[in-house]
């Protein structure tokens, strides 16, 4: 099947059309964010990770079946060896309308320009705080300046959108929301505030105690700005607001707990090991690594498996911050 096929064949049991895939290209990372992974994270053996060629062929099959948006994520995608080759190859596929990246920004000083040249349209940079000591605490090892330098380089490259992603935690960074928005206004970029999701075991903090709802953040920001709801949609779950008098910055909220977004879910995720996850918050999955490795070069087998997987997509997630049972999968493997 050609990649220019426009009829989307990926419809689930609930009538939702999947036109968006997030590809986690590695579970490795140069940071250790406290909400994402444990300090002594056990990474997947390299032989179990998909090769870049396998990732590309899976991506091509998805595009052939109607997907037109891809987000490359991880782990930290820019620490994967030869990752630029994947961006260059995907960027050449005409049917792919939106090629995006989520990164912690540490490597952007080197990669922003080549990524733009490869055809990356939008970049999300994760940044939870503007204070160097807090940044070091929340990432366990990070250097704030390195991320800021990367972000500035990306801003200078004129992508369609640069957005900060900030996970908000009580007693960690919840008092910095206004500072972060001001930082974005000064640079003409967007920001999304994210409610922490209970993925993977976590002995660093009590997730129910650090939970900060999007509504609390919104109420806080309303003390400083006139905030206007919009109908703006990118491919993801973000609800966007405009700021009166600051046209170049939108404020978004990703609120898995307080504003469930499953009804309009249009996406699936491929883990770094090649497991196709039909929902971020459930374990329903299809092992695409097994499909590609047991049927080398067989595009039809891969496409059939992807089409069949749509029957597994569940109605929605069941995140519960107070539950004793958590999904064992950490966000770095899942592909946030």
Give the residues lining the site for ligand SAM (CB under 6 A).
29, 35-36, 73-74, 76, 102-104, 126, 165, 167, 194, 196-197, 199, 331-332, 336
Q: Which of ligand SAM, ligand SF4, none does residue 197 bind (CB under 5 to 8 Å by kind)?
A: ligand SAM
Nearest residue (beta carbon) to ligand SAM: 336
Spatial distance between the Cα atoms of 128 and 335, rounded to a whole number of angstroms: 18
Spatial distance between the Cα atoms of 278 and 288, rounded to a whole number of angstroms: 12
Is residue 75 within the footprint of ligand SF4 (CB under 6 A)?
yes
Q: Which of ligand SF4, ligand SAM, none does residue 252 bind (CB under 5 to 8 Å by kind)?
A: none
The one among 19, 26, 57, 126 contacting ligand SF4 by CB under 6 A: 126
Rank residues 35 and 159 by Cβ distance to ligand SAM and give the closer one.
35
At 209, list the tokens: 């105690």
Q: Which residue from 51, 56, 53 is spatially nearest to 3, judged by alpha carbons?
A: 56
The CA-atom distances, in angstroms, between 10 and each of 4, 14, 21, 191, 296 are 15, 12, 11, 30, 23
Phi, psi torsion values for 283, nearest 5 degrees: -95, 5
Q: Which of ligand SF4, ligand SAM, none does residue 32 bind (CB under 5 to 8 Å by kind)?
A: ligand SF4
Is residue 252 within the footprint of ligand SF4 (CB under 6 A)?
no
The one among 18, 31, 63, 148 contacting ligand SF4 by CB under 6 A: 31
CB of 211 to ligand SAM, least distance (A): 11
Rg of the chain taking only CA atoms, in angstroms: 19
Q: Which of ligand SF4, ligand SAM, none does residue 61 bind (CB under 5 to 8 Å by kind)?
A: none
Binding mask 191-230 for ligand SF4 (x = CB under 6 A): ----------------------------------------
The one among 236, 332, 333, 334 contacting ligand SF4 by CB under 6 A: 332
The CA-atom distances, in angstroms, between 314 and each of 27, 262, 280, 318 are 24, 9, 10, 10
Is residue 37 within the footprint of ligand SF4 (CB under 6 A)?
yes
Pick the stretch among 29-37, 84-92, 197-205, 267-275 that binds ligand SF4 (CB under 6 A): 29-37
CB of 205 to ligand SF4, least distance (A): 14
The one among 12, 68, 76, 98 contacting ligand SF4 by CB under 6 A: 76
Spatial distance between the Cα atoms of 180 and 12, rounded to a whole number of angstroms: 38
By the 8 A CB rule, do 123 and 100 touch?
yes
Q: Which residue from 94, 8, 93 is spatially nearest to 266, judged by alpha carbons?
A: 8
Pick the stretch among 68-76, 88-96, 212-220, 285-293 that binds ligand SF4 (CB under 6 A): 68-76
Q: How far out from the chain centre does Cα 308 lie?
A: 24
Q: Where are the alpha helices (DSSP H) in the chain?
A: 52-64, 83-91, 108-118, 132-139, 144-156, 177-187, 207-210, 214-222, 288-294, 299-309, 331-334
Q: How many chain residues interact with ligand SF4 (CB under 6 A)?
A: 13
Question: Could you tell me what percentage of the chain is helix, strand and coil, using 3-state DSSP and rounding each to the nearest 5?
Answer: 35, 20, 45
Q: Which of ligand SF4, ligand SAM, none does residue 199 bind (CB under 5 to 8 Å by kind)?
A: ligand SAM
Spatial distance between the Cα atoms of 262 and 249, rounded to a whole number of angstroms: 26
Residues at the contact surface with ligand SF4, assessed by CB under 6 A: 29, 31-33, 36-37, 74-76, 104, 126, 331-332
């Amino acid at each position: 099947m050609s990649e220019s096929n426009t009829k989307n064949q990926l419809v689930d049991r609930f009538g939702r059309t999947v036109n968006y895939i997030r590809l986690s290209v590695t579970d490795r990372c140069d940071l250790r964010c406290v909400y994402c992974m444990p300090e002594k994270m056990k990474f997947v053996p390299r032989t179990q990770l998909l090769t870049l060629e396998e990732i590309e062929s899976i991506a091509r099959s998805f595009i052939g079946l109607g997907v037109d948006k891809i987000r490359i994520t991880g782990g930290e995608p820019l620490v994967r060896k030869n990752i630029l080759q994947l961006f260059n190859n995907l960027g050449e596929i005409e049917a792919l309308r939106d090629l995006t990246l989520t990164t912690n920004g540490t490597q952007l000083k080197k990669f922003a320009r080549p990524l733009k040249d490869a055809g990356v349209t939008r970049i999300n940079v994760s940044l939870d705080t503007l204070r160097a000591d807090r940044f070091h605490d929340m990432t366990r090892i990070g250097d704030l300046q390195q991320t800021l330098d990367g972000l500035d380089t990306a801003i200078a490259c004129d992508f369609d959108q640069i957005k900060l992603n900030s996970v908000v935690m009580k007693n960690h960074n919840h008092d910095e929301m206004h500072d972060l928005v001001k930082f974005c206004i000064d640079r003409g970029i967007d920001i999304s505030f994210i409610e922490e999701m209970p993925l993977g075991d976590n002995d660093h903090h009590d997730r129910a105690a650090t939970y900060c709802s999007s509504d609390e953040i919104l109420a806080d920001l309303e003390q400083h700005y006139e905030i206007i709801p919009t109908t703006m949609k990118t491919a993801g779950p973000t609800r966007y607001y405009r700021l009166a008098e600051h046209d170049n910055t939108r404020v978004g909220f990703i609120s898995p707990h307080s504003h469930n977004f499953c009804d309009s879910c249009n996406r699936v995720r491929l883990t770094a090991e090649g497991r196709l996850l039909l929902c971020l918050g459930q374990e329903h999955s299809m092992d695409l690594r097994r499909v590609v490795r047991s049927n080398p070069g067989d595009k039809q087998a891969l496409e059939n498996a992807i089409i069949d997987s749509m029957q597994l997509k569940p109605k929605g997630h069941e995140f519960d911050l107070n539950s004793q049972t958590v999904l064992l999968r950490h966000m770095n493997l899942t592909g946030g």
